[in-house]
Amino acid sequence: MQEKTTPSAQEAAKSLFQPRVAVLAGFTTLACILLSLFGYTQPVIMGVVQGLGEFLPISSSAHLILVPWLFGWHGGVIDSLTFDVALHLGTLVALVVYFWKDWVALLGALPGLFGWARAKLRGDASRTRTPAEHILSSVIIATLPAAIIGVLLEKVAEQALRAPLLIAATLMVMGILLYVIDRSLPETKPLETISWRDSLLIGFAQACALVPGVSRSGGTITMGRLLSFNRQAAARYSFLLSAPITAAAMVLKLPDILAIPGSEIDVFVIGILVSGVVGALAIRFLLDYIRRAGFALFAIYRIVLAIVVVAVYFPAYQQRAVGRSGAKALGALQHSLPPYVRFPAAFMPRASACAVCATPGGIARGTQAPQSPHTPLSSGSSAWPSAGTRCTQNTTGR
């Protein structure tokens, strides 16, 4: 028989307003506004994005890529992978603090789990696992696929899987899957009934989150619902799985985090604090909300965001292509004329800017572009070569 997970009307109304949660949310909102007024808008926004995206099934990695892309925040610490990893420290702390009772129980079950494993190796079938030992062993099993695949494919994911169109596709596909699976399958299994097969399947779903847009929480929750776990169990297990893999990523990136310049420490600290507090609020919201309404809201949001990304990408791409081709044509014509014949500045993109690196006045072939943000040839363009890209356009004349 399907478990009844929908609360009574009184319980639902009570969950809508929690005084302590409301006070924390109000204080966090006020703090974010004040920090933005003091010039910390970017780390505040990125911290909010990470805090919401890490636990809601909407993909934090996709948002950490898309937000700088949409706002044109290219170059600098905000657009760095080190900053993204540091933001996960905030959500990791939120996860450990929010589920501290679960973690105390799981850590306390570790000696017993070793005892059960030794008994199994000796052939002693009389030794059984406690519920905490059972869940701990399932978390360990589910963490292995993501750990192994993450180590093998991390560089590929960082370098080749960050294109906006790919993110839009994964956002939409996973949004449709989450909606259909959550609506069509029953909620018959509590977390305590999880098997090693279930753990492996959910672990492979977590590994798919290497592709931005899939979402670690979205993948694990979708797989959990596909296996007929109830919504609360799927979400709680997803949160428990997040801690080991996030902690491992933090350890691997620790040298980069410790190498943060002193002038950027305030940006990192603010981003981490905001992501932690917003992450705790997101956990509370999700666990309350899904009991009443399921995951349809997040699935619809993913689909809408995917449409927005595509709608923004193609006009920007066309504008960029027209701007680049026009600039090259004018540049070629200008270089074919004698030095004393020059087009008026109004007819030249960015006052005779280089058509490739967009640096005013251009630079000689094969030399390094200035180490400063480049100015796009057309407004709205957001994908020009970054600082340090070699210029192949000879703008020094013949």
- Domains of the chain, by residue range, sit at 9-294, 324-398
Termini Cα distance of the chain = 82
- Reported confidence tier of residue 33, pLDDT bands at 50, 70, 90: very high
**231-261 pLDDT tens trace:** 999 999 999 999 999 998 888 888 888 888 8
Q: Which whole number is the average pLDDT over 48-77? A: 89
User: Does 73 have pLDDT greater than 60?
Assistant: yes
Percent of the chain's residues with pLDDT above 90: 53
DSSP 378: S
Cβ neighbours of 250 (radius 10 Å): 15
User: Does 99 have pLDDT greater than 60?
Assistant: yes
The reported pLDDT for the residue numbered 304 is: 95
The reported pLDDT for the residue numbered 7 is: 46
Which residues pair with residue 390 across a beta bridge?
368
Tell me how far apart the alpha carbons of residues 372 and 347 are, in angstroms, rounded to a whole number. 25
- Reported confidence tier of residue 356, pLDDT bands at 50, 70, 90: very low
Mean pLDDT score of the chain, rounded to an integer?
80
For tokens 């309404």, the residue is 293
CA proximity to 72, closest of 391, 385, 382? 382
The reported pLDDT for the residue numbered 326 is: 56
Q: pTM here?
A: 0.75
Does residue 182 contact residue 224 with C-beta atoms inside 8 Å? no
CA proximity to 150, closest of 96, 229, 203, 84? 203
Tell me how far apart the alpha carbons of residues 339 and 95 are, in angstroms, rounded to a whole number. 65
Which residues pair with residue 229 across a beta bridge?
189
The reported pLDDT for the residue numbered 95 is: 94
**126-175 pLDDT tens trace:** 888 999 999 999 999 999 999 999 888 877 877 778 788 999 999 999 99
**292-313 pLDDT tens trace:** 889 999 999 999 999 999 998 8
Tell me how far apart the alpha carbons of residues 125 and 242 are, in angstroms, rounded to a whole number. 32
Does residue 182 contact residue 220 with C-beta atoms inside 8 Å? no
CA proximity to 170, closest of 91, 85, 65, 73? 65
User: Does 314 have pLDDT greater than 70?
Assistant: yes
- Reported confidence tier of residue 87, pLDDT bands at 50, 70, 90: very high
**6-20 pLDDT tens trace:** 444 344 445 545 788
Which amino acid type is present at position 204? Answer: F
The reported pLDDT for the residue numbered 330 is: 53
Top pLDDT among 375 and 324 is at 324
